[in-house]
Structure 1
Amino acid sequence: MSTFSDYQDYDGLGLAELVRKGEVTAAELIESAIDRTAAVNSDLNAIVIEQYDDARRLAAQGLPDGPFSGVPFLLKNLDVGQAGTRTTSGSRMYADYVAAHDSTLVARFKAAGFNIFGKTNSPEFGVLPVTEPELHGPSRNPWNTAHTTGGSSGGAGAAVAAGILPIAHASDGGGSIRIPASCNGLVGLKPTRGVNPIGPDMGEAWGGQVCNHVVSRSVRDTAAVLDATMGPEPGNAYCGPQFAGSLLDEVGSDPGPLRIAVSFEKWSQGAYQPEAIAGLKATVKLLEGLGHTVEEARPDLDFEELTGASSIIAAVSTALICQKRAEELGVTVEELPMEDGTRMLLTLGSLVGATDYPRAVQTNHLAGFEMARFHEQYDVLLLPTMASEPVPVGYFKGGDENDLIERLGAFMGETMLCNQTGQPAISLPLHWSDNGLPVGMMFSAAFGGEPLLLRLAGQLEQAQPWWDRRPPLAV
């Protein structure tokens, strides 16, 4: 079947424009994506569920006339459902689960014209910052296949970085959009809480920490997808900000001189590794050269308390998922097949007292008030997305709970904070380590600050372009 030879030269909006002009067809685009998957997926294990026949049928019969009409697209194998297709959540207990209907967000992706041709790998229930589920096996980084793609949207990150497609769905409960963006050299925006819909099968996830969006190669794609998907749905547990005008129009607009806070000290456990500090210093220099004021500052927060709160919320939420699945299957929770890390969280969740969970949620909300005060003084907060370059595949295997905590501290940055407060944050591919691995830089703003972040991201994309930086394993 016919493919499009210049596929890799265009972002999502660029491909959609070619379809609108009749210079390429949706059928040619989906065949290009499928061919590229065949070329690299055996090395990357990015895509774990194929829906090629459905995508070919939709390309032939015609897709909705949205801003991304005809553009190939992948859903993350977690957090959303697509009618009549499997979503395993990276777990053996959901290996045969088929969604009865579309999630609201999936319906909006379809209305935007995306052509969904499969689902990407994710760790079991998204609880680790790497993508190595026992059910599907590990995803590998196209910059170096011995290293992780990050998680939990690791399959999406690998697929986009390798050139299988320009944009893919991702979700984020503690950094899971921004972590793969950092590890794979991509743009990854975690929107403000409530901006994108999460229903109708849940009103919130992880106490309001989880949100959905995409990873992409261009800032404008990230903005345009949010234009297409954002907005309330009936029954929202949270109502996000409403933006005046198009977010796409913000990209390329002058952000003006900004006051930016930065920290070279990691606030939670562990320390930033040399490659993260090098990237941070280079980014500060770039920002100052663009006319921004950058100074060291930190919010008045107890990060040990925040870490404890997020652990309680994740544990209780995981326990609930397992309990509901056991009820559906007519078995006990103990009989469910699950990974050791999930069972550890399940055990922790069973020990949480009646007031511990609401206290943890309150800790998050109070942190949100403190960050609102912080951003009255600073427009943006700059931190390394991760504490290090992408770690080797298998980095979190073996050891006890203390070993896991220590390894998390050496790899994780402060991505969890914006999930807890609900703020937007974006990871941009502004640095590569001496080993040739991407090291993203993270910018966060006040609640509803997407317009500002997209203006700044667009400015940085022009000042230090990353489009032509491609990994060794790219098609």
Structure 2
Amino acid sequence: MTLAMSWDEWTAHDGTALAARVRAGELTPSELAAQAAAGIALTNGPTSAVVEVFDDVVADPLKDGMHPDGVFAGLPYLMKDLGPTLKGRLQEMGSQLMQGNRASADSFLTGKLRQAGLNIIGRTTTPEFGVCSSVENDLFVTRNPWNLDYTTCGSSAGSAAMVAAGVVPIAHATDGGGSIRIPAGVNGAIGLKCSRGVFSIAPGLSDLSGLVSTQGAISRSVRDMASFVDHCRGGAPGEFMPYWSAPEPYADLIQRDPGRLRIALVHQWGDFAATPHIAGELERVGRFLQGLGHEVAWAQPVVDIRAAFEAQTFCYISNFAQTIESMLRTLGLDRPPADKVEPINIKIWEAGRDASYAQRFAMQAAFNSTARGFGSFFEDWDILLSPVTALPTPRVGTTEYLTTSDNPSVHDWFENLWRNFAYTPIANLCGIPGISLPLAWNEHGLPLGMHAQTRQAGDGLLLQLAAQIERAIGGRWNDGRRPGVHVTAGQG
């Protein structure tokens, strides 16, 4: 098959640039879709990141209702196999239990994606129900394109791998505690978790009932992320809360540098701390930001991190237990079958299905005090910068982080998770934005994201800072390096 361009030319374009060429009549959505499908064929063998390619949509980009006049003009897009549904398509959530589950309608956000001109050409991998930090089960083992011995982390595992491997410039992701930012961070991509009230999770939940989980994307360029937010944000009819809009489009805002920012660095976080190497990388990036004219110092919010993580753990257990319970009811089952649901997810269901309102109220009180503490901190500081993880990327087969773990205690299992993924969950608890930027390297020579957070509704400031950094480094994220498994490397 003859492709529209070489792989070097393909990866030199971000989504915005490809869309501009479509609008200029130089390329067609069909040519873009064929190129992306060829990229999946080149890289999916070693990475195991894509569940399914929609061949009919590759052949006819208009088949499922993509709006070709949208800002992305038919750009190929991959959807994580969790969250928004696609009418008539399978959504199996990384789960044996949900094999063959087919959606009857598009979710609200799916409609926004299509209106934005994103051509959804396939599904990417996620762990079972998106719960754990890596895709490693009987269905898929998704591997890091930088080094196949290591995981992509998760839960937006396949999307991060496909963006890193140069297959698509941007892909769908979800984030309930870091599931956008962590895989972006360990795969050398950009991952933004927006504030509450940006992306709708209708019709099934709202940002108030879902509380910690949100939608988003992983990208290679800041301007693609800015346009994605601009054109896919907004609430559906009947939301429990107003969905806010920014004073100006982020695509315009990021053209200007932010003013001099007060940036606080942190890597000791309650009982959790980064390795000396990762702490050193944070310090190095802090000096770089100082060189851009920002004020940089060590500081952190005055909050009870231990209480915050206990509340966050309870939130996950009670939320996921009800998610599993609703699936069981749909399937006419009394309990999760042990041959089709992973052990930790069964323990989550057992621990959380009868959670009381009194427990939920105590959780909400801890959420409130934590959010107030962060709010007070951001009266004095503009940005809180940490690594995206405290420990280096786990190797494939590190079962302590997996829902296939034999850990007898679900609370100990979560505690173990927090020791590595310590810096991202609080943003979900508080409803504040966080972005992971590929600026550093861990001990194994793999990408390490730097994680910037700011006050509620400060999403534009994070993108503005990210764009300033991107200009300062000449667009050369990851020092201009590419992973070994990459479309430009053929079979890698």
Is the shorter-chain TM-score for this pair beyond 0.5, marking a shared fold? yes
2:490 is matched with which residue?
none
Equivalent residues in 2 for 1:229-240, closer than 5 Å: 229-240=232-243
2:279 is matched with which residue?
277
Distance in 1 separating the partners of 2:82 and 2:56: 21
How big is the shift at 1:241? 2.9
2:427 aligned with 1:418: yes
Q: Is the 8 Å Cα contact of residues 122 and 132 (structure 1) preserved in structure 2?
A: no
Equivalent residues in 2 for 1:51-90, closer than 5 Å: 51-58=54-61, 63-90=67-94
3-state SS of the aligned residue for 1:215?
strand
Q: Of the candidates 26, 37, 41, which is equivalent to residue 38 of structure 1?
A: 41
Q: Of the candidates 437, 459, 462, which is equivalent to residue 453 of structure 1?
A: 462
Q: Is the 8 Å Cα contact of residues 130 and 155 (structure 2) preserved in structure 1?
A: yes
How big is the shift at 1:469? 2.3
2:256 aligned with 1:260: no
Instruction: Judge which range, 456-465 or 9-18, deviates more.
Output: 456-465
1:325 is matched with which residue?
327
Instruction: Judge which range, 106-115 or 61-70, deviates more.
Output: 61-70
How many residue pairs align between the two structures?
473
1:438 is matched with which residue?
447
How big is the shift at 1:256? 1.0
How big is the shift at 1:119? 0.7
3-state SS of the aligned residue for 2:135?
coil
3-state SS of the aligned residue for 1:282?
helix
How big is the shift at 1:200? 1.1
Instruction: Judge which range, 21-30 or 350-359, deviates more.
Output: 350-359
3-state SS of the aligned residue for 2:311?
helix
3-state SS of the aligned residue for 2:155?
coil
Equivalent residues in 2 for 1:50-449, closer than 5 Å: 50-58=53-61, 63-134=67-138, 136-204=139-207, 207-267=210-270, 269-335=271-337, 337-350=340-353, 352-397=355-400, 398-400=405-407, 401=409, 404-405=413-414, 407-449=416-458
Q: Is the 8 Å Cα contact of residues 7 and 29 (structure 1) preserved in structure 2?
A: no
2:481 aligned with 1:469: yes
Distance in 2 separating the partners of 1:396 and 1:407: 11
Q: Is the 8 Å Cα contact of residues 322 and 353 (structure 2) preserved in structure 1?
A: no
Q: Deviations over 1:222-245 (max 9, x none)?
A: 111000111222111333432111
Q: Is the 8 Å Cα contact of residues 53 and 123 (structure 2) preserved in structure 1?
A: yes
3-state SS of the aligned residue for 2:149?
coil
Distance in 2 separating the partners of 1:104 and 1:409: 32
Distance in 2 separating the partners of 1:368 and 1:132: 34
Q: Deviations over 1:65-104 (max 9, x none)?
A: 0110121000110111010001111112211111111111
Q: Deviations over 1:214-263 (max 9, x none)?
A: 00000111111000111222111333432111111122311011111111
Instruction: Judge which range, 235-244 or 373-382, deviates more.
Output: 235-244
Distance in 1 separating the partners of 2:113 and 2:260: 35
Distance in 1 separating the partners of 2:365 and 2:351: 19
- Change in Cα spacing, 1:368 to 1:329, as seen in structure 2 (3 Å) is same
In the alignment, structure 1 segments of 5+ residues that lack a partner are none
Q: Deviations over 1:105-148 (max 9, x none)?
A: 111110111111111100111111222244x2221000001111
How big is the shift at 1:332? 1.0
Instruction: Judge which range, 327-336 or 159-168, deviates more.
Output: 327-336
Q: Is the 8 Å Cα contact of residues 131 and 150 (structure 1) preserved in structure 2?
A: yes
Distance in 2 separating the partners of 1:241 and 1:334: 39
- Change in Cα spacing, 1:323 to 1:290, as seen in structure 2 (3 Å) is same
How big is the shift at 1:207? 4.1
Q: Is the 8 Å Cα contact of residues 50 and 158 (structure 2) preserved in structure 1?
A: yes
In the alignment, structure 2 segments of 5+ residues that lack a partner are 488-492
Q: Is the 8 Å Cα contact of residues 166 and 217 (structure 1) preserved in structure 2?
A: yes
3-state SS of the aligned residue for 2:296?
strand
How big is the shift at 1:328? 1.2
- Change in Cα spacing, 1:329 to 1:266, as seen in structure 2 (3 Å) is same
- Letter of the structure 2 residue corresponding to residue 284 of structure 1: G
- Change in Cα spacing, 1:448 to 1:204, as seen in structure 2 (3 Å) is closer
How big is the shift at 1:324? 1.2
3-state SS of the aligned residue for 1:455?
helix
How big is the shift at 1:370? 1.7
Distance in 2 separating the partners of 1:338 and 1:194: 32
3-state SS of the aligned residue for 1:106?
helix
Q: List structure 1 segments (4+ residues) > 6 angstroms apart after TM superposition.
A: none
Distance in 2 separating the partners of 1:449 and 1:270: 26
- Change in Cα spacing, 1:283 to 1:206, as seen in structure 2 (3 Å) is farther
How big is the shift at 1:63? 4.2
Q: Is the 8 Å Cα contact of residues 276 and 387 (structure 1) preserved in structure 2?
A: yes
Distance in 2 separating the partners of 1:350 and 1:28: 48
Q: Deviations over 1:348-367 (max 9, x none)?
A: 21463331023212321332
Q: Is the 8 Å Cα contact of residues 270 and 410 (structure 1) preserved in structure 2?
A: yes
Distance in 1 separating the partners of 2:173 and 2:179: 7
3-state SS of the aligned residue for 1:439?
strand
- Letter of the structure 2 residue corresponding to residue 466 of structure 1: R
- Letter of the structure 2 residue corresponding to residue 163 of structure 1: G
- Letter of the structure 1 residue corresponding to residue 435 of structure 2: I
Q: Deviations over 1:180-236 (max 9, x none)?
A: 110100110100011111101222487411111100000111111000111222111
Q: Is the 8 Å Cα contact of residues 205 and 317 (structure 1) preserved in structure 2?
A: no
How big is the shift at 1:410? 3.9
Q: Is the 8 Å Cα contact of residues 30 and 59 (structure 1) preserved in structure 2?
A: no
- Letter of the structure 2 residue corresponding to residue 92 of structure 1: Q
